[in-house]
Amino acid sequence: MSQAWSRRTLLGAATAPLYVPSRVLGANAPSKRVTVGVIGVGRQTVFVNLKQFLAMDDVQVVAVCDVDRWRLDNAVRQVEAGGSKGCKAYGHFEELLADKSIDAVMVATPDHWHVPISMAAVKAGKDVSCEKPLTRTIHEGRQLADLVKKNKRVFRTDSEYRSKPWYHQAREAVRNGRIGQLQRIHTGVPKGDEACAPQPDMPVPPELDYERWQGAAPRAPYTERRVHKPKAYERPGWMRRLEYCDGMVTNWGTHHNDLAQSANNTDRTGPVEVEGRGTYPGPESFWQVLLDFEVHYRYSNGVRLIYRIDKPSLRFEGTEGWIYADDTGKLEASKPSILAPPEGANWVKLPMKEDKRDFIDAVKTRGETMADAEVGHRTTSVCHLGHIAIQVGQRLEWDPVKEQFTNNSAANAFVTRGVTRILKT
């Protein structure tokens, strides 16, 4: 059975703009806009991020940055075609961060650059929206969240999933007891990674600053399967190399497990127990990330989370019913009353607005975003915990306050260094 709450109910006061649109007041002069610099102008930025920012009349994209000159030039053209004339182009993010005309930055680089650039931006006095998965290690996530809090910067973990109406409806129904006491959550993410044969070393494309691209990662010969296909926006190879990314376990997991954490009201803490299994490619494969996995978590409130490769979806099971939602927009429940419109003065309302709107509103009001650095850190940590449990091959006990494993010193080593190499196949 399915029943959609009205758009007015879903958006309501929680999504009402906290400012009067400039087109209404005639106040859309550049001096009234939030100035944004975008660091990393690959596939996600070209197809999603820039389009969203350029459509906002209270935002002006004034600078872009990338180590790939071909992508950088394309981004400048896209920005200027969108009406933001005079867009600056930077090859080094430090130069963009030193630009005092910039209020806020969007970080959309490969994963291994997320935290270093975000922390540098915070120190430079910029507000930050950073692509998920936010971190490569649990330890660096804690460092980032603490730095953002200390410096009182606005931060947004960039994921659109809290902005999807049917997922919002499911989370809010769970939080308000519509399925009774929550007992189990099932999260599924798609199978998207694969094995591949090694590629011979290749000359570095002239437009790419490969040394800069590698950052703090171990030095390795260039091949396009390690980085991205030159002069194209296909799914890049770096997403399947453990030096730069953890693969689907964090990539899509930070969408669906974020919703699970929110519905469980644990998005500023985490589970207390985790165990998992997974399959990696064989040692002959150049790409290394998990091909399949299933992870089980337990929270201190007794809720169990089962996270696996499956259809991209969430299922919440409680003492009085269940709710199912998936990426197609499907929303079902065990009985119609579970999806009935909200009622009563005590109804817990979760904030709901488009992700870039959420960020810019917070920049202007100095308020919190729907998924700040602490939330992004905790969500990504859930995924890291599963990856670590798969590597160690044992049931692990986790202290979400100290952010340490209490029963396995080998597992604690991964808290700092992350899963950067395969221990067993």
343-361 pLDDT, tens per residue? 889 999 999 999 999 999 9
For the sheet with 88-90, list strands across it.
88-90, 59-65, 34-39, 104-107, 127-131, 155-158
Reported as a single tens digit per residue, the pLDDT across 371-419 is: 999 999 999 999 999 999 999 999 999 999 999 999 999 999 999 999 9
Which residue from 13, 130, 106, 97 is spatially nearest to 51, judged by alpha carbons?
106
Where residue 366 falls (left for φ over 0; alpha for ψ -120 to 50; beta otherwise) is: left
pTM: 0.93
Span 107-129, average pLDDT: 98
* Strand partners of residue 156: 129
How many distinct helices (H) and strands (E) make up the chain? 15, 15
In the predicted structure, residue 16 carries a pLDDT above the cut 50: no
Give the CA dihedral 128, 132, 134, 136, nearest 10 degrees: -150
In the predicted structure, residue 28 carries a pLDDT above the cut 80: no
Q: For position 32, what pLDDT does the model report?
A: 82
Q: Which domains does the chain have, with CATH numbers?
A: 1-14+164-352+373-425 (3.30.360.10), 15-161 (3.40.50.720)
Reported as a single tens digit per residue, the pLDDT across 163-201 is: 999 999 999 999 999 999 999 999 999 999 999 999 999
Residue 31 binned pLDDT confidence (cut-offs 50, 70, 90): low
Do residues 104 and 154 make contact, with C-beta atoms less than 8 angstroms apart? Answer: yes
CA–CA gap between residue 213 and residue 219 (Å, rounded): 10
For the sheet with 292-298, list strands across it.
331-333, 321-326, 313-318, 182-189, 304-309, 292-298, 273-279, 396-399, 404-405
Tokens coding 301: 């409130």
Beta strands in 190-340, from DSSP E residues, in sequence order: 273-279, 292-298, 304-309, 313-318, 321-326, 331-333
**What's the chain's average pLDDT?**
93
CA–CA gap between residue 309 and residue 367 (Å, rounded): 36
Could you say which DSSP state residue 49 is in?
I
Could you say which DSSP state residue 217 is in?
S
Q: For position 5, what pLDDT does the model report?
A: 57
In the predicted structure, residue 126 carries a pLDDT above the cut 60: yes
In the predicted structure, residue 21 carries a pLDDT above the cut 80: no
Span 203-226, average pLDDT: 97
CA–CA gap between residue 380 and residue 132 (Å, rounded): 8
CA–CA gap between residue 307 and residue 57 (Å, rounded): 40
Span 64-77, average pLDDT: 98
Tokens coding 147: 């730095």
